[in-house]
Each structure stands twice: as structure tokens, then as C-alpha cells.
Chains A and B, each alone.
Chain A
Amino acid sequence: MNWKMGKATREAFGQALAALGADYPDIVVVDGDVGNSTRTELFGKKYPERFFNVGIAESNMVGVAGGLASSGKRAWLSSFAAFVMCNAYDQLRMSIAFPNLDVKVVGTHAGISIGEDGPSQMGIEDVSLACSLPNFTVIVPADEVSMTAAVQAVAKIRTPVYLRAGRPNVPIVYPDGCSFEIGKAIPLREGSDVTVIANGLMVAAALQAAETLAGMGVQTRVLDMHTVKPLDDAAVLKAARETGKIVVAEEHLLHGGLGSVVAMSVARQHPVPMRFVGINDTFAESGTPEGLLQKYGLTADAIVQKVRELVGK
């Protein structure tokens, strides 16, 4: 397939947030001194009076955002997924989720595709943690187009959201725009033999895999399940009924991520054979993003392999 390489989802996030500043004078942004990496600095440069860099202090960053939201602001905060979710989890739980405040939490540099910086910087458990926070909506966009749409969509709701962004540039899977709706999977390719449900950068890999599988005579449905919570149960049920087999692919630990959530939905609604592509209970290491995705099995080939296990080809 001919991918047009696009921006990183973190870059698209930063640009979309800065663009929202004019429409929403009550948006405030809190940074934990990584604004040039998470790209919230784009907002900060435009609206310095509404941008608060509280330093390397994630717990306080989350609490400050909670206080701003309690006083009526639309608060956004951003850090590396690993730092905000793991360092400040109790604050997310007590100061945002429990009081159900309007705070948008954006975890960037998620997954292993950040590459050379290595495991300490890689958020590979963040989606699971976010899904374990009641009141939170959890969204993992695939490319710059859907990230922009996601930022605009979540800005409209007044409840907590976790939005996951990546470091590297990723292919554009929505060259013609994206009709993004929170909680609604986007069908990207029709197929009747098997469904691949993916999010984040695994959506492009799923489309690539579907192309390869078509050459083998396997017609693969591809769903972009950008919203992990609330899950689009209807799309999962439809896929289970109509294709009878499901592979889930994500750049995240297998425990507690999209695969777990989809499996629960399948088990409850319409059990069918499933396979899972994700990080298998391990930390990764330093390396190039491509090398890491290859080594840890987050590729189109890995998806093809799992599909072949299911369809017996």
C-alpha cells in the first residue's frame, strides 16, 4: 500500500489544541515541563496566560488541573504517557476521576515506538490504567487526521478523557478526512472471513495485513477502535456475527488493553475464536522504532500470522 507519511499524533494533538484556544477561552493547559515534547507549547506560546508549566511534578500537575476544572475551566494536561499515568495515578483517581472533572489527560510517547529512549519512557500500560478509572473516556487515535478530530470531539464534553499519542511520524490512514465519533468504531475495510480490530499505529498495520491477506484469498474486515472506553459493543457484535473470527492489535501490553476489553465484549455477546497482537508481559528496550516493533511483534506480518492461525491458511 502507498502510505503517505503524516505527522506524529502528538504533533497533531499540539496543533489541534492550540487551534481550539480561540474557540474556547476557558481552556487552560497544565504542563509538567515536557511541553516541547508533548507539543502543548504550541498552545502555551499563543496563550501564555492560560498555560501553566508546574515543573517536573506530575502529581501536582494533575491536582492543579483538577482545581482549575473545579473552578469551571476546561483543563488539559499532558506528559509522557508513562509519567502521567504511572507517576500520578492516585491523583488521576482522586482528583479527576472520582469527582468526574473536565480534565483532558493526554499521554504522549506511548508504546514502544518512541524508540531509542528505552523502556523507562515507554507507556505500555497506560490504556489499561486509564480504563480502570471510572468516568474516564479512553481514546487512541491512529493518525494525525483522527487525532485532530478526536481533540475537537473531546473538547465538547465536560468529563475526563485520556487521549493517547505517539512520538514518531505515522502514516495517514484517513487521507480523505475522518468522521470521528467518540465510542464509534470506524470501518476501514470490509471483509467477511475475519475482523482485525486495532487502534493507534496498529491500524495502519492492520490495513497492510488485510492487503496481504487478500492476496491469500482471505477477506479481512478492519475496524479502527479508537475509543477503548466506552467500547463500541455493537461494532464488536457485528464483527463477531458476520466474520466469526477476530484478531485484536494494539501497541500496548496484552493485559488490560484493547484486546482484553474486546475479548470481554465478545465473550459476553457472541463468543468466537480470537487472537491478540500486543506486547506480551514484558518491558521492551532501546532501539529504532521499526526495529522494536519488529522484535516485539507489532507488525502487519504479526497480524497476518494470527489471522492465518484463525482461518487455517
Chain B
Amino acid sequence: MSASTAKANVEQLREKLRTIRKGIITSTTAAGSGHPTSSLSAAEMTTALFFAGFLRFDPKNPSWPQRDRFILSKGHAAPLLYAVMAEAGYFPASELNTLRKLGSPLEGHPNLRRLPGIEASTGSLGQGLSLGVGHALAVKLDRFDSNVFVLLGDGEVGEGQVWEAVMSAAKYKLDNLIAIVDQNGYQQTGATKEVLDLTPLAPKFEAFGWVSQEIEGNSLENCIAALQKAVQAKGSGKPQVIISKTVKGYPISHLLGNDPNHHGKPLTAEQATKVLEFLETTTA
């Protein structure tokens, strides 16, 4: 069984990141709705995960039992998942512009029944980590060394179920489970600090028996280093969490006016043109 484990060097990764960011913008603008800023904040992390050799997957055999799992618990970042999957070869990039259209498997939130390679149907926040616990238990029962990565939003961790899952992962010593909290600081109606401030997050996970890392997450290098450390913790008997502090809409938030949140709004065609020009050349 072959898996796409080839490590791209950082320059190649940066090109992939550029393509993925552009895919997020063009697909949501074509759709006329969606969550581009929630997608962009986690683009570096997801790019590193898929293309720097951490996630073992095979687009030709998406349900390969020994694969690593990636669960997008913050399902509204579906445009990110689709852009990454297109880049990974699950489907042609031209399909990205069918996002949210009738008949397209690229639904507004991920639907595993519509698109092979999607590990979980998400969109009702708070459920992905429990699914991740289930996957992590299953692969341990099967004696596979697969890892399970779950990407959550920082607003999402207000859901009580997340902490139920956190506790059960510690109980079952799931050191093959890696949670990533995309801490972009905003949720639907405003700043996460104002809506329901759960910071500091890392000590809360630690208190439940997890090992945490905190990083500035809009950096491929930082993401790679953190993922490296997390996967090397296998054998520790402890689940791993990466609190990835990010900027919502990175690196284009300065082009979106005075709204640092810009939640759930696609860019206008005019904005998108400017943003795509910027993304073409930025080294951020």
C-alpha cells in the first residue's frame, strides 16, 4: 500500500499553501457564501499536516485502513479541506468552484457520504474530537500505528462535548490522537475572549492529562515543528494538543476592511481579485 508521505521541502510547501489559499478565496467567492477567514487561519497547519509527511493517506484508496485520519471538527472551514484535498489529488482542482452548488459533493460543510477522503461529517460544532477518540481506539484495537488528527476552532471548545472527549482520550491513553485548536480568536458574533473566554487553553487540556504545545500557527515552520513533536510523543500514553494561535483571515485580513472577524462572508469579486493578486506574491 502506498501513501503520500513524500516530504515536500518548505519552498514546495509554500507553493502548495499559496494554491490552497487561492482555492479558498476563489471557491467561496464563486459560491457566494462560506467561511474564507475561518479557513485561512488554519491553512498553514493543514498544509503542513498533509504535505510535510505527517499524514499518511492515499487518494486512490481513501479508506485504506492503515491511513492516518484527519477530522475537520470546525466543519465550516470546509473550503480549506476541499482546497487541500484537491491539491492532494482526491479530485481535480477545477471542481473547487462547484462549492455549495446543488449536486456538488463539496457541500457547505463536509459530508463523508459525498466525497471519499472526508473522515467525518461535521458542521454541528463540538463533535469531531469524540469521533477522533473512536477512530483512535479502533486503530489501536487493530494494532495499526495510525495517528488521528482533529482540527477544532477555539470558539468550538465552548461545547461541553469537547471536554467529555478530552477526558475519555486521557482515560484510554490515546497517544495516537492529536488535537489542534485553531485559536484565531474570533467566533460568529465576536471575539472569543468576549463571548466565552476559555484562555488559557493549554492548562485546561493539561489538567485533563494531555500534553500541550502553544505555537504561533501562521507559520509553516512552526506547524511542522509542533506536529513533529506531537507525533514523536507516541508511546507516552498521553494525547497531544497543539494550541495554534492564528489570525483569522491570515494573511489577507488587512484587505478586508475594519472587520477582523469577517465571519462567514465570502469576498466580493472585486475584493477577491485584489486578494488573489496579493496572495500570488506574498511571502507570508
Name A residues whose Cβ lies closer than 8 Å to a Cβ of B: 28, 49-50, 52, 54-55, 57, 59-60, 62-73, 75, 90-91, 93-95, 98-100
**Do B130 and A67 touch across chains, with their CB atoms under 8 A apart?**
yes
**Do A57 and B121 touch across chains, with their CB atoms under 8 A apart?**
no
Query: Across the two chains, which residue of chain B brings its CB closest to A25?
Result: B141
- A99 CB → nearest B CB, Å: 4
Expressed in whole angstroms, the Cα–Cα distance for A100 and B138 within the complex equals: 18
Stretch at the interface among B88-96, B163-171, B221-229, B255-263: B163-171
Residues of B with C-beta under 8 A to A68: 134-135, 137-138
Expressed in whole angstroms, the Cα–Cα distance for A52 and B134 within the complex equals: 10
Interface string of B62-81 (1 = CB under 8 A from A): 00010001000000000000
Interface string of B40-70 (1 = CB under 8 A from A): 0000000000000000000000000100010
**Do B137 and A70 touch across chains, with their CB atoms under 8 A apart?**
no
A71 and B121 contact, Cβ closer than 8 Å, known pairs A63-B130, A63-B133? no
Expressed in whole angstroms, the Cα–Cα distance for A59 and B125 within the complex equals: 12
**Do A94 and B127 touch across chains, with their CB atoms under 8 A apart?**
yes
B209 at the binding interface (Cβ < 8 Å): no
Residues of A with C-beta under 8 A to B111: 98-99
Query: Across the two chains, which residue of chain B brings its CB closest to A57?
Result: B164
**Do B164 and A66 touch across chains, with their CB atoms under 8 A apart?**
no
**Do B168 and A54 touch across chains, with their CB atoms under 8 A apart?**
yes
Residue A64 contacts which of B69, B119, B133 (CB distance < 8 angstroms)? B133
**Do B141 and A67 touch across chains, with their CB atoms under 8 A apart?**
no
User: Given known contacts A52-B168, A64-B133, A98-B111, what 19 new A-B pairs fall within 8 Å (CB)?
Assistant: A54-B164, A54-B168, A55-B164, A57-B167, A59-B126, A59-B160, A60-B130, A60-B133, A64-B165, A66-B131, A67-B131, A70-B120, A70-B135, A71-B65, A90-B124, A93-B124, A95-B120, A95-B121, A99-B113
**Do A63 and B165 touch across chains, with their CB atoms under 8 A apart?**
yes
Expressed in whole angstroms, the Cα–Cα distance for A49 and B172 within the complex equals: 11
B246 at the binding interface (Cβ < 8 Å): no
**Do A60 and B141 touch across chains, with their CB atoms under 8 A apart?**
no
Residues of B with C-beta under 8 A to A65: 134
Question: Chain B, interface size: which category?
Answer: 20 to 34
Residue A99 contacts which of B120, B124, B167 (CB distance < 8 angstroms)? B120
Query: Across the two chains, which residue of chain B brings its CB closest to A54?
Result: B168
B13 at the binding interface (Cβ < 8 Å): no
Inter-chain contact total with CB atoms closer than 8 Å: 112
- B205 CB → nearest A CB, Å: 16
B19 at the binding interface (Cβ < 8 Å): no
A71 and B138 contact, Cβ closer than 8 Å, known pairs A57-B168, A63-B165, A99-B121? yes
B251 at the binding interface (Cβ < 8 Å): no
Tell me what chain B mostly uses at the interface: helix, strand, loop, or mixed: helix
B190 at the binding interface (Cβ < 8 Å): no
| Residues 217-240 of B contacting A (Cβ, < 8 Å) | none
Expressed in whole angstroms, the Cα–Cα distance for A94 and B131 within the complex equals: 11
Expressed in whole angstroms, the Cα–Cα distance for A72 and B142 within the complex equals: 10
Residues of B with C-beta under 8 A to A67: 120, 130-138
B123 at the binding interface (Cβ < 8 Å): yes
- B210 CB → nearest A CB, Å: 15
**Do B141 and A50 touch across chains, with their CB atoms under 8 A apart?**
yes
Residue A28 contacts which of B120, B133, B141 (CB distance < 8 angstroms)? B141
- A153 CB → nearest B CB, Å: 24
Expressed in whole angstroms, the Cα–Cα distance for A72 and B137 within the complex equals: 11
Residues of B with C-beta under 8 A to A94: 121-124, 127
Residues of B with C-beta under 8 A to A98: 111, 113, 121
- A158 CB → nearest B CB, Å: 13
**Do A55 and B168 touch across chains, with their CB atoms under 8 A apart?**
yes
Query: Across the two chains, which residue of chain A brings its CB closest to B119?
Result: A70
**Do A100 and B113 touch across chains, with their CB atoms under 8 A apart?**
yes
**Do B65 and A72 touch across chains, with their CB atoms under 8 A apart?**
yes
- Which of A69, A91, A95 gathers the greatest number of chain B CB atoms within 10 Å? A95
**Do A95 and B160 touch across chains, with their CB atoms under 8 A apart?**
no
Residues of B with C-beta under 8 A to A54: 164, 168, 171
Query: Across the two chains, which residue of chain B brings its CB closest to A56?
Result: B164
Residues of B with C-beta under 8 A to A100: 113
Residues of B with C-beta under 8 A to A69: 134
